[in-house]
Amino acid sequence: MGPPRVVVTLPAALVALFPGCAGRHVVAAETVAGAIAALDRAWPGLRDRVCDSSPAVRRHIRVFVGSAIAGLETPLTDGDEIVVLTAISGG
Amino acid sequence: MTDRVMVLLGTRKGVFILDGDPGRSAWRLRGPFCNAWPINHAIGDPATGTIYAAGGNAWFGPAVWRSDDLGETWTHSSEGLAYPAGETPVTAAWSLAIRDGTLFAGVEPAGLFSSDDGGRSWAHVAGLRQHPSRPEWQPGAGGLILHHVVPHPGDEDQIWVAISAAGVFHTQDGGASWAPRNSGTRCDFNPPEKRYPEFGQCVHALAMAAGTPERLYQQNHCGMYRTDDGGRAWHSIETGLPSSFGFPAVAHPSDPETLYLLPLNGDVSGRYVPEGKAAVWRTRDGGTQWEALRAGLPQQNAFFGVLRQAMATDTLTPTGLYFGTNTGTVYASADEGDTWTCVAEHLPAISSVETILVSA
């Protein structure tokens, strides 16, 4: 049995930075960091847009697993829905 | 072959490009590019025509954008543009410079990176942040930013950088070690006994005189300066200016005695052009005498400022000069600053202005 299969939904402003990238992906990963790494392999540079070098999810981005705010080390289970959101900050 | 000027504008909401006709009399605006990211500095590589844009997005962090087709399409990368895990992350790329194919980026919090593959990947020039003064570097109002990178044109081991508010630093071993170059520049904001520290100055802009790498000009928060020995000793050249405060300092592309400034009314007086009347100030003798250039610029009710990277020359003859305001207006001169024309308005706040020549 491999890693859990999860669905990741990305925000439009992030997708727009990677032409051809879809807004919804199915990946196999044990943690949120692993899911983002899987997306980064397909879309090089995507991890740097979501995570800083602390390493942590960027300050004005939220990652939810289900209805709970998640961090990079949050474990995943089969069928989890990961949603990446941008904050309403701007100006 | 006829050349025309492209004016590259970094703004709070993306890069814009002004395409000039060969006579520099008509301009066409394109943009915004770079997904409307805040762009602090956009430059063109005169050797290749590639355009680079340094910025940082509140959601997505720092990146350097690149266009190989004069702005039509763009890619972005921040691979390697990061400090080690555990350090305060890089928030934005602030300044760019290119020398013989090597691209340099200054970032916030202050540090220097270089790229030998056109900005696709970056390496940290770690020696600068290893300087013993680094724990004491303090941010200015714009943050702790490395906002000017001035490579020596003939010696790849030498680079000067300007950091707000740590001052000017210089390396002569390719970035392995650095030395402060602030002697003679004031810190009016310090107690009297600390007015001339070794570092901690609020440098606003750094410009190298044409053909004389040891001559640098500096607009500082507290005065205007010139050095003729690579920054070992700075001398005030502010007598005759309406203010000791301003941001940009732009050297003439071929005359080392000519420099352009855009003084503002002072750091606690609003930071707009003095008396609401816009003027670029020019010296033709290395800073001994100054003249105001006002023809075509608004002479009443002008309350804009011009940021540190928002004025530039072109390399045509006669020299063209351009500046962008923090209220989104661009003025251009095709006669060394003698007369001016408004060539764009209603843009986002303009962070940087640079030019590149392309074939018409």
Question: Which tens digit of pLDDT belongs to each residue from B200-247?
Answer: 999 999 999 999 999 999 999 999 999 999 999 999 999 999 999 999
Instruction: Please tell me the distance from the alpha carbon of residue B291 to that of residue B234, in angstroms, as a whole number.
Output: 22
Instruction: Please tell me the distance from the alpha carbon of residue B105 to that of residue B122, in angstroms, as a whole number.
Output: 9
Residue A89 pLDDT > 90: no
Name residues whose C-beta falls within 8 Å of residue B159's C-beta, 6 or more positions apart in sequence: B104, B112, B149, B150, B151, B152, B170, B171, B175
Tell me the HSE value of B141 on the side-chain side, using a 13 A CA sphere. 8
What 8-state DSSP symbol labels residue B242?
S
Q: What is the DSSP string of A57-70?
A: E-TTEEEEETTEEE
Residue B360 pLDDT > 80: no
Helix (H, G, I), strand (E, B) or coil at B109: coil
Tell me the HSE value of B4 on the side-chain side, using a 13 A CA sphere. 16
pLDDT of residue B258: 98
> A56-76 pLDDT, tens per residue?
999 999 999 999 999 999 999
User: In this structure, are residues B15 and B53 in contact, taking their beta carbons and an 8 Å threshold?
Assistant: yes
Residue A43 pLDDT > 90: yes
Most A CBs within 10 Å, among B60, B87, B107, to test the A interface: B60
What is the complex's ipTM, to 2 decimals?
0.95
Most B CBs within 10 Å, among A46, A52, A63, to test the B interface: A52
Question: Which domains are seen in chain A, by residue range?
Answer: 5-86 (3.10.20.30)
Residues of A in contact with B129 (CB under 8 A): none
How much is the pTM? 0.97
In angstroms, the separation between the Cα of residue B39 and the nearest Cα of chain A is 14
Give the residue-averaged pLDDT of B8-16: 98
pLDDT of residue B280: 98
Give the residue-averaged pLDDT of B336-350: 98
Instruction: Please tell me the distance from the alpha carbon of residue B356 to that of residue B360, in angstroms, as a whole number.
Output: 12
In angstroms, the separation between the Cα of residue B62 and the nearest Cα of chain A is 8
Give the residue-averaged pLDDT of B262-288: 96
pLDDT of residue A90: 61
Number of other residues whose CB lies within 10 A of the CB of residue B296 = 15
Does A49 contact B at CB distance below 8 Å?
A: yes
Residues of A in contact with B63 (CB under 8 A): 48-49
> B139-195 pLDDT, tens per residue?
988 899 999 999 999 999 999 999 999 999 999 999 999 999 999 999 999 999 999
Give the residue-averaged pLDDT of B122-141: 96
Instruction: Please tell me the distance from the alpha carbon of residue B349 to that of residue B10, in angstroms, as a whole number.
Output: 9
Given pLDDT bands bounded at 50, 70 and 90, which one contains residue B346? very high
Does A87 contact B at CB distance below 8 Å?
A: yes
* B259: its two tokens: 């420099």
Does A33 contact B at CB distance below 8 Å?
A: no
How many residues are present in chain B?
360
CA end-to-end span of chain A:
47
Amino acid at B184: G
> A9-39 pLDDT, tens per residue?
999 999 999 999 999 999 999 999 999 999 9
Name residues whose C-beta falls within 8 Å of residue B72's C-beta, 6 or more positions apart in sequence: none
Element (H, E) at A39: helix A32-42
- What value does the mean pLDDT of chain B take? 97
In angstroms, the separation between the Cα of residue B111 and the nearest Cα of chain A is 15
Of B60, B76, B85, the CB nearest to A54: B85
In angstroms, the separation between the Cα of residue B224 and the nearest Cα of chain A is 33
Question: Cα torsion for B84, B88, B92, B97, to the nearest 10°?
Answer: -50
How many beta-carbon contacts under 8 Å exist across A and B? Answer: 51
- 3-state DSSP: chain A helix, strand, coil percent, rounded to 5? 20, 35, 45
Most B CBs within 10 Å, among A53, A58, A59, to test the B interface: A53
* B141: its two tokens: 């109002």
Can you say whether the dihedral through the CA atoms of A59, A22, B53, B176 is positive or negative?
A: positive
Q: Which residue of A has its CA nearest to B83?
A: A53
Of B59, B63, B77, the CB nearest to A87: B59
User: In this structure, are residues B130 and B171 in contact, taking their beta carbons and an 8 Å threshold?
Assistant: no
Residue B73 pLDDT > 60: yes
Name residues whose C-beta falls within 8 Å of residue A16's C-beta, 6 or more positions apart in sequence: B35
Work out the angle at residue A12's Cα, subtended by the Cα atoms of residues A9 and A14, and round it to the nearest 5 degrees. 85
Amino acid at B91: T
* A69: its two tokens: 């705010």
By the 10 Å C-beta count (0-12 exposed, 13-18 middle, 19+ buried), B8 is classed as: buried
CB contact under 8 A, B59 and A13: yes
pLDDT of residue B1: 57
In angstroms, the separation between the Cα of residue B263 and the nearest Cα of chain A is 28
> B277-302 pLDDT, tens per residue?
999 999 999 999 999 999 999 999 99
User: In this structure, are residues B164 and B156 in contact, taking their beta carbons and an 8 Å threshold?
Assistant: no
β-strand partners of B321: B313, B333
Provide the percentage of residues in chain B whose pLDDT is more than 70: 100
Instruction: Please tell me the distance from the alpha carbon of residue B165 to that of residue B221, in angstroms, as a whole number.
Output: 9
